[in-house]
């Protein structure tokens, strides 16, 4: 596969993942297939214990599949060494979790700048991009505030800005609004959609909020170790 606009940002092909359980194995993914395209937001709505976290970890190169292949853009990743997988995570993937995991001793802007510095961007360029992202997300007047001085919704918007600061190909989000009240969750979700549409990245968002899931481009679930499209 060569990089083209019509190429999926993420493509899981016949992915298998199993874990030791006593004298046998627990098969969580049993040949799962999934393609997510640039600019597309896909909801992952799966009950606890069906493999949601496993799927996100495999897609995010945090776990290796036991079978099948995970393509990030044109790159097959299953046989990459740890250094190569780390580079793909740093350059092509962004992560947002239920809890923001911001660095408490740094400002909102610094939290967004640090991942860019780690990637090797010049400080001035990283700061300017950080300002632009935070301003786009409605936090232009909160750049110098530390996480403890921000509301829950503001903290999560900073986490979103941090996740997309390195212009990833794919955004993976695990219950990004699960720790927020309904009004704040809706605002954060609108922010997430806006940044995905503006950046043309792809997003896989795990959520138990069916109202939010219904507003995404499509919904998938995990059933008997396979990824199934929902109506």
Is the residue at 136 inside a domain? yes
Is the residue at 132 inside a domain? yes
The predicted structure's pLDDT at residue 209: 87
Is the residue at 175 inside a domain? yes
Confidence band for 5, pLDDT divided at 50, 70 and 90: low
Residue 145 CA to residue 109 CA, distance in Å, equals: 8
Is the residue at 227 inside a domain? no
138, 187 in Cβ contact below 8 A? Answer: no
The tens digit of pLDDT for each residue in 27-58 reads: 899 999 999 999 999 999 987 778 888 999 99
Strand partners, 72: 10, 75
Is the residue at 177 inside a domain? yes
Span 1-7, average pLDDT? 53
Is the residue at 2 inside a domain? no
The predicted structure's pLDDT at residue 2: 35
For residue 142, give its domain range.
Answer: 40-64+87-220
172 sits in which H/E element: strand 170-174
Number of folded domains that form the chain: 1
Is the residue at 75 inside a domain? no
The tens digit of pLDDT for each residue in 101-144 reads: 899 999 999 999 999 998 888 999 999 999 999 998 889 999 99
List the structure tokens of 3: 């990089």
The predicted structure's pLDDT at residue 51: 86
**Residue reference for tokens 């936090």:** 139
State whether residue 135 is helix, strand or coil: helix
**Percent of all residues in the chain with a pLDDT value above 70, rounded to a whole number:** 98
Q: What is the pTM of this model?
A: 0.87
The tens digit of pLDDT for each residue in 65-106 reads: 999 999 999 899 988 999 999 999 988 999 988 777 899 999
List the structure tokens of 27: 């098969």
DSSP 1-47: ----TTS-SEEEEEEEEEEEETTEEEEEEEEEEEEE-TT-EEEE---
72 sits in which H/E element: strand 67-72
The predicted structure's pLDDT at residue 3: 40
- Domain holding 103: CATH number? 3.40.50.300
93 sits in which H/E element: strand 93-96
- Determine phi and psi for 129, rounding to 5 degrees: -65, -40
The tens digit of pLDDT for each residue in 183-220 reads: 888 888 888 888 888 888 999 999 888 888 999 999 99
Beta strand 67-72 with 41-44 is unpaired
Is the residue at 14 inside a domain? no
């Amino acid at each position: 596969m060569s990089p083209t606009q019509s190429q999926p940002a993420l493509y899981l092909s016949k992915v298998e993942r199993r874990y030791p359980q006593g004298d046998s194995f627990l098969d969580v993914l049993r040949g799962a297939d999934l393609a997510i395209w640039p600019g597309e937001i896909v909801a992952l709505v799966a009950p606890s214990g069906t493999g949601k976290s496993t799927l996100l970890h495999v897609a995010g190169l945090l776990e290796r599949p036991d079978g099948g292949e995970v393509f990030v853009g044109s790159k097959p990743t299953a046989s990459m060494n740890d250094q190569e997988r780390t580079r793909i995570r740093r350059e092509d993937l962004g992560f947002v979790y239920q809890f923001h995991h911001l660095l408490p001793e740094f400002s909102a802007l610094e939290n967004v700048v640090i991942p860019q510095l780690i990637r090797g961007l010049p400080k001035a360029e990283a700061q300017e991009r950080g300002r632009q992202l935070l301003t786009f997300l409605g936090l232009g007047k909160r750049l110098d505030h530390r996480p403890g001085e921000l509301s829950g919704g503001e903290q999560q918007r900073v986490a979103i800005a941090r996740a997309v600061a390195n212009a990833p190909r794919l955004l993976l989000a695990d219950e990004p609004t699960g720790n927020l009240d309904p009004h704040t969750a809706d605002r954060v979700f609108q922010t997430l959609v806006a940044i995905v549409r503006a950046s043309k990245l792809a997003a896989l968002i795990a959520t138990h909020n069916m109202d939010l899931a219904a507003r995404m481009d499509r919904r998938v679930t995990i059933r008997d170790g396979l990824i199934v499209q929902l109506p």
